Structure 1
Amino acid sequence: MTSWRNKAKYHLVDGTTKIQYWTNIDNLEEEHNRVIIFNYGLVCNTRHFVYQIDHFEKLGYKILLHDYRGHYQSETTQGIESITFKNIVNDLNSLITTLNIKTSIHIGHSMGVNVTLDYAHKYPQEVQKIVLISGTIFPPQDVMFDSNIIDMTEPYIKQLKSKWKSQFQFIWKNVYRNPLASALVWNGGFNIKKTNIEFVEYYMKKLGELSPDIFFQLLDQMRDQKIIKELEEIKTSTLIIGGDKDKVIPNYLQQILHDSLKNSELYIIKNGSHVPQVDFPEFINERIDLFLN
């Protein structure tokens, strides 16, 4: 890992919100263009792009990694309810402005697709290209696992969380210690022949550092987002990527997204899971290279 990725920096959006970030931009007096910005998924972390970060840094790109408000060391005193796509986009734009980034390329995975689309819609002149991996423009409660099981069970899970708050928090924080839980996530969200269990265990441990309230808050944000009505207004050049074995977000949703974004290309990778950029980094990086150049 290069030195800049070991040194977190902090940006004050205002008196209430501080954003943690990492970047190899070291001269704020100079304007920066084609900076690659990574937007991760629901209760995920920047390691979901580890192979892309390494690859594009070697190619000489400037890179910006960031944690959303309320995630890890990105703090806000406005409360969980302030963790909205609108505020996340505003926080990111404030950071981008401070770093003197004039044009950017956004790569979003899963819920990061929603963040990326919102940003591209609000700041079209700043965003040169976007890469959307394994996302959905429909409420995840209706489409995850190709069923409405999330929609059916979410109210009951929220009731359990509310009734036995401390017990629920304890289980959430320590779920990574349960080998069965890690195995279920590994089999459900990854290609187990390509991604090792250690990657999943790290993800589960990081998930436990976040409040379960953030998960439900952002799940509701994905349900209520109105971006589907604004897709025709997004003219940004787009690459849509999905895995044909994605069990979390079925890849037919990538075709729908492709049909909705007129200036888009579609790449479905064989045997790719919900996290194809981890399963097949060489192929994904090669396809993004082709798109960017």
Structure 2
Amino acid sequence: MLTSFMEGLLCCLTSKSSNIVVPVETSELADGYEFVEVKPGRVLRVRHIIPDRQVVEEPTWQGGSISCKRKITVYRNGQLFIENLGDRASAELKNCENGETDPNSIVEVELTDCGNSSPPASIPETRSKSQLRKRRRKPKRTVVIDCERKISACKGTHADVALFFIHGVGGSLDIWGSQLDYFSKLGYEVITPDLAGHGASSAPQIAAAYTFYALAEDMRLIFKRYARKRNILIGHSYGVSFCTFLAHEYPEQVHKMVMINGGGPTALEPSLCSIFNLPTCVLHCLSPLLAWSFLKAGFAQQGAKEKQLLKDNNAFNVSSFVLRAMMSGQYWPEGDEVYHAEITVPILLVHGMHDKFVPIEEDQRMAEILLMGFLKVLEDGSHMVMMECPEAVNTLLHEFILWQPEEGAPPVDAGGPFLSFLSSTYSREDVAVP
């Protein structure tokens, strides 16, 4: 603690950060580590594993298709109204502000193209003037989604499948160690980068290098460099936002997606009253306290095992400047509920029950908004659930990767959970631990 205080004091006096992450010299290139220059002077470390395997080409078509049609209407008061159109039409009133429903808000919606659907919810005979005004209000924006996606099982022997793992603030590609070993042994091609300023990637000393848009562009370039025909994105915490961005931008190339403790479908905006707005040198003085707080909030238990996991996986080991810039740069107004509702990719949400960073209500809200989403809660995990419960997470991810709808299955009732792993078409032998 005293050492950190002295280094922080020196940082204040010299106006320089004494804890800077820079690319390290490595002899691990043969083990799948590469350094990719995404922009002049901006270098990311990437672990890319192409396992030795007997490649089995993907058949012409196996699996099934999911048909979804719904209409999303956004009103100026922030309310989001979703109509699920089809044989099993339903309507849900959702509020964009903190996920709370306004009990006094009544919107009469006429469902179209609904065949034998049930009639709209009845409207009380007695209405106040304010309710009538709300009912007549004009929408700010209307989005109609009408899609049909073909979804098949992705096996490690298929050469057209790639898995991308993206970490969050303070992490590194090393936090995915258990997942990379598991899936590479099953024959999957895996790709995972260090975000700028993290792990062994370069750390520019300008705050603009750590905005959401700068990091998202990095991930876009990494994705375009390594993408195959069918790509599965797995993100953790802040890394989920970059997966969401890629799934929205490349819906035909992204086959499925996994969100691990990613939070609710709200636009990113940095907090004005946050400890991370303190000067860099002050944050450096507080770094032992921040590390202890991360351990306490990120793990269900805080013993020697968890401390060693942080150390071995190079987690929460970034400079104070990078940490401050990352937290201040989380501004992404486009990533609101409508943006998430437009995503047509099947998505698995994994939430650690003891997570103190992301309340379970946020992931529940995300599952409701997503067109095709399923939420799985792990009772023994917290924010770093993939490190705490690697076997459970690996098996769950593999089940989702192998999941496919049955041929001739009825259209999905969009807007809520739709997957049932226990009734899936694959056998348990398909997900055996290597």
Report percent identity of matched pairs: 22
Q: CA deviation at 1:167?
A: 5.4
Aligned equivalent of 2:221: 94
| Aligned counterpart, 2:128 | none
Determine if contact 1:240/1:267 at 8 Å carries over to the other structure. yes
Tell me which residue corresponds to 1:169.
Answer: 284
The residue aligned with 2:49 is: 24
* Closer, same or farther: CA 218–152 of 1 in aligned 2, 3 Å: closer
Alignment of 1:18-97 (within 5 A): 18-25=43-50, 33-75=160-202, 79-97=206-224
Structure with greater helix share of residues: 1
Query: Deviation string for 1:152-195 (max 9, x for gaps)?
Result: 741x652x41xxx44543553xx3xxxx7655433321021795
For 1:247-266, what aligned pairs fall within 5 Å after superposition? 247-266=356-375
Deviation of 1:94 (Å):
2.2
Number of the residue aligned with 1:233? 342
* Mapped pair 1:187 → 2:276: no
8 Å CA contact 1:57–1:63 kept in 2: the answer is yes
For residues 166 and 152 of structure 1, do their structure 2 counterparts lie closer, same or farther at Cα, with a shift above 3 Å needed?
closer
What's the counterpart of residue 390 of structure 2?
281
Checking the alignment, whether the CA contact within 8 Å between 1:39 and 1:116 is kept in structure 2 is yes
- Backbone CA RMSD of aligned residues: 3.0
For residues 20-63 of structure 1, what are the alpha-carbon distances to aligned partners after superposition, in whole Å with 9 as ceiling and x for unaligned? 11111389xxx952211110011211222222111111111000
Is 1:267–2:267 an aligned residue pair? no
Q: Which residue of 2 aligns with 1:214?
A: 322
Partners in 2 of 1:121 and 1:167 — Cα distance? 38
In structure 2, distance between residues paired with 1:90 and 1:152 = 25
Query: Cα 1:167–1:258, aligned 2, differ >3 Å: closer, same or farther?
Result: closer
Deviations 1:189-231 (A, max 9, x none): 102179532113446x6534x2323323332343544212311
Unaligned runs of at least 5 residues, structure 2? 1-27, 53-157, 403-434
Q: CA deviation at 1:68?
A: 1.6
Using structure 1 for the length normalisation, give the TM-score: 0.79
Flag the 1:197–1:256 CA change in 2: closer, same or farther, 3 A.
same
- How far apart, CA to CA, are the structure 1 residues paired with 2:253 and 2:340? 17
TM-score by length of 2: 0.55
SS of the aligned residue for 2:39 comes to coil
* Aligned position for 1:198: 308
In the alignment, is the contact (CA less than 8 A) between 1:35 and 1:62 conserved in 2? yes
Paired residue secondary structure (2:229): coil
* Whole-Å separation in 2 of the counterparts to 1:64 and 1:84: 22
Between the aligned partners of 2:291 and 2:276, the Cα distance in structure 1 is 19
1:196 counterpart SS class: helix
Q: How much has 1:73 moved relative to structure 2?
A: 3.4
2:324 counterpart letter in structure 1: F
Q: Does the CA-based 8 Å contact 1:272-1:280 persist in structure 2?
A: yes
User: Is the CA contact 1:241–1:266 (under 8 Å) kept in the aligned structure 2?
Assistant: yes
Residues 46-101 of structure 1 show CA distances to partners (whole Å, capped at 9, x for unaligned) of 22222211111111100001112233432376833132333323223323333463
**Alpha-carbon deviation of 1:118?**
1.0
The residue type paired with residue 216 of structure 1 is: R
Structure 1 residues 255 and 20, CA gap change in structure 2 (3 angstroms) = same
- CA gap of 1:262–1:56, structure 2 versus 1, over 3 A, is same
Q: Is the 8 A contact 1:70 1:80 kept in 2?
A: no
**Is the 1:32–1:103 contact (alpha carbons within 8 Å) kept by the matching residues of 2?**
no
**Secondary structure in 2 matching 1:197:** helix
Measured in 1, the distance between the counterparts of 2:284 and 2:400 equals 43
The one-character-per-residue Cα deviations of 1:118-145 (angstroms, maximum 9, x if unpaired) are 1111111211111000012346889xxx
Give the Cα separation in 2 of the matches to 1:103 and 1:87: 25
Give the alignment of 1:151-162 within 5 angstroms: 151=271, 153-154=273-274, 157-158=276-277, 160-161=278-279
Change over 3 Å in CA distance of 1:200–1:185 after alignment to 2: same
SS in 2 for 1:115: helix
SS at match of 2:251: coil
Partners of 2:269 and 2:199 in 1: how far apart? 25
Q: How far 1:244 sits from its partner (Å)? A: 1.7
Query: CA separation in 2, counterparts of 1:280 and 1:41?
Result: 18
**Match of 1:114, as an amino acid?**
S
Taking structure 1 as reference, are residues 243 and 5 closer, same or farther at Cα in structure 2, changes over 3 Å only? Answer: farther
Aligned to 1:146: none
